Chain A
Amino acid sequence: MTQFFDYLILGLTRGSMYALIALGYTLVYGVLQLINFAHSEVFMSGAFGSYIIVHLMVGKGPGTATWEVPFVFIVGVLSGAITAAIIAWLLERVAYRPLRRRGAPKLAFLISAIGASFFLSTLASKLFNSQTSNQFPAFFRNTVLFSIDGAHVRSLELIIIVSALGMMFFLDRLVNTTKLGRSIRAVSEDAPTAALMGINIDKTISRTFVIGGLLGGAAGFLFGLNYDFGFNMGFVPGVKAFAAAVLGGIGNIRGAMLGGLLLGVVENLVNLVPGFNTAWTDVVAFLVLVLVLMFRPTGLLGERLGRAA
């Protein structure tokens, strides 16, 4: 049982990061019917943005007073989120909007996304000396908080899970109860009609990218705290999060949350099966995706693909 809880905690930690990134894919898909393949780089930019700010605040880390830790943490999340939001906003302006204006075919958007993705990761590689193993300053001690049946829950894991769930709850409220959320849903459901209601479609699309960027950037910071990171860090979590979004039903916000958590948990729990080890993690993640799509092509919570008639 100890092992079970160990892997469950690990799965929830990774899964909540997948979920945050997956939301960026699914939100943008909702308003544009487009997979923003550069979103993995938006995530990466969040890690670097927060890294710079946190480094400026605490240097190498030791000597950070206990009372400063929550403050550094909050600034870290915010700086990651804001960096990524700016990148996401620029991405929409530079890589997608001009194509949209000209009524370009979907394939052009895909190529543009891949180009932007290469550009951003290469840029990060140049700026940060191609290092792939950057580490955040050790500004707090990752202590064991409590144990469940012998499985340790560390402060970092708890922070990641709780803050990710908090952000997801906040997004859910935003989308379902605010005017901004309602305009995003209206553009997702029927953009030309949303315009007839007085909604500025361009602005709404921009805001959607920014929201996706905020969540992805926060995930970038959380990921950076937990693992070594570098310019190429976006690829695997990005692909996993994309898979999670599809698993939950692309375009469906709660689906992305569910898909992310589920994917994280399943790919780690598989370690309990005799004969499997961590080398199987990625295989299992995509196997789950394929299996679910075979029986539910629209994903777990997806009602349909494409727009309603």
Chain B
Amino acid sequence: MTESMLGLVDVEVRYGNIRALKGISFEVGAGEIVALLGANGAGKTTTQKTISGMLRPSAGSITYEGSRIDGIPAHELIGLGICHVPEGRHVFPRMTVAENLEMGAFRFKRVDRTDLEHVLGLFPRLQERYRQVAGTLSGGEQQMLAIGRALMGKPRLLLLDEPSMGLAPLVVQQIFDIVRQINTAGVTVLLVEQNAAQALALANRGYVLETGEIVLTGTGPDLLADDRVRAAYLGEEIAS
């Protein structure tokens, strides 16, 4: 692992009385793609929301590029280069593709033309649909738009929550290829996925979450070979 970009230490998150994260610790190195795997309800989305400031940890610390960021609200964190593509895409349905992309660059005075051309180059479909209202796009197009919108914010750390959800395998492959390109261009990626095989094929390393705790960690191939991971992504309970 290279120099650490993001570090979580004993992070605990509660929804009322329920501890959704029971003190998890992990690190993401600069330039890496790290996958967070696990079944529904394991705490993957909660972890990402906590990193991007949508949720506040009740205990533990989050360090990003050397400084503590836990407790900083989401709208300020994006200024540090943390861009979050939330689960379910969440494009602004009544805005056009163009307006959605501009929203991604909201923190800047004006839209960076080079960024816009870069995003439209990565996703030619968005160019075709440029003046169309986002709510009318297909699921795959919305996912592309959500990723493109995040890229408009010039991320150094990109949080991707289930980009493959509900998409056809061909589209998923396309999106994963683009995530690799984004990473090659220097963006660190923390990827949440249920599709473990595909995520681990892309990621340098992975962590497996189970009911709010990290139960396994390793490189992509190591985890792919692990029986418990194989069981998990076949949809069975992980033996703990």
Closest to B54 in A: A192
A198 lies within 8 A of B92 (CB)? no
Interface 1/0 per residue, A278-309 and B, CB below 8 Å: 00000000000000000000000001000010
Within 8 A of B (CB), among A188-209: 189-190, 192-201
Interface 1/0 per residue, B86-114 and A, CB below 8 Å: 10001011110001001110110000000
A186 lies within 8 A of B90 (CB)? no
A196 lies within 8 A of B94 (CB)? no
Chain B residues within an 8 Å CB radius of A196 = 52, 54, 74-75, 78, 83-84, 86
Question: Is A179 in the interface zone, CB < 8 Å from B?
Answer: yes
Question: Is B186 in the interface zone, CB < 8 Å from A?
Answer: no
Closest to B108 in A: A198
Within 8 A of A (CB), among B69-83: 73-76, 78-79, 83
- Measured between C-beta atoms, what is the minimum distance from A301 to chain B in Å? 12
Question: Is B163 in the interface zone, CB < 8 Å from A?
Answer: no
Chain B residues within an 8 Å CB radius of A192 = 54, 74, 86, 90
Known A182-B103, A196-B54: A189·B78 in contact at CB below 8 Å? no
Chain A residues within an 8 Å CB radius of B104 = 197
Chain B residues within an 8 Å CB radius of A183 = 106
Question: Is A185 in the interface zone, CB < 8 Å from B?
Answer: yes
A190, A195, A197, most chain B CB atoms within 10 A: A197
With beta carbons under 8 angstroms apart, the residue of A185, A197, A201 that contacts B78 is A197
How many chain B residues sit at the interface, stated as a range, is 20 to 34
- Measured between C-beta atoms, what is the minimum distance from B54 to chain A in Å? 6
A198 lies within 8 A of B54 (CB)? no
Question: Is B31 in the interface zone, CB < 8 Å from A?
Answer: no
Question: Is B135 in the interface zone, CB < 8 Å from A?
Answer: yes
With beta carbons under 8 angstroms apart, the residue of A185, A190, A199 that contacts B90 is A190
Chain B residues within an 8 Å CB radius of A185 = 92, 94-95
B75 lies within 8 A of A201 (CB)? yes
Known A183-B106, A189-B95, A192-B54: A198·B90 in contact at CB below 8 Å? no
Closest to B52 in A: A196
B93 lies within 8 A of A308 (CB)? yes
Question: Is B153 in the interface zone, CB < 8 Å from A?
Answer: yes
Interface 1/0 per residue, B144-175 and A, CB below 8 Å: 00000100010000000000000000000000
B53, B76, B93, most chain A CB atoms within 10 A: B93
Chain B residues within an 8 Å CB radius of A198 = 75-76, 78-79, 106-107, 153
B92 lies within 8 A of A186 (CB)? yes
B54 lies within 8 A of A197 (CB)? no
- Measured between C-beta atoms, what is the minimum distance from B38 to chain A in Å? 22
Q: How far is the CA of A183 from the CA of B74 in the complex (A)?
A: 15
Q: A186-B106, A195-B74, A196-B75 are in contact. List 7 more A-B contacts (CB 8 A).
A: A189-B94, A192-B74, A193-B90, A195-B73, A195-B75, A200-B73, A308-B93
| The 9 A-B residue pairs with the shortest CB-CB distance in the complex, in nearest-first order | A198-B107, A195-B74, A193-B90, A198-B78, A308-B93, A197-B106, A189-B92, A195-B75, A200-B75
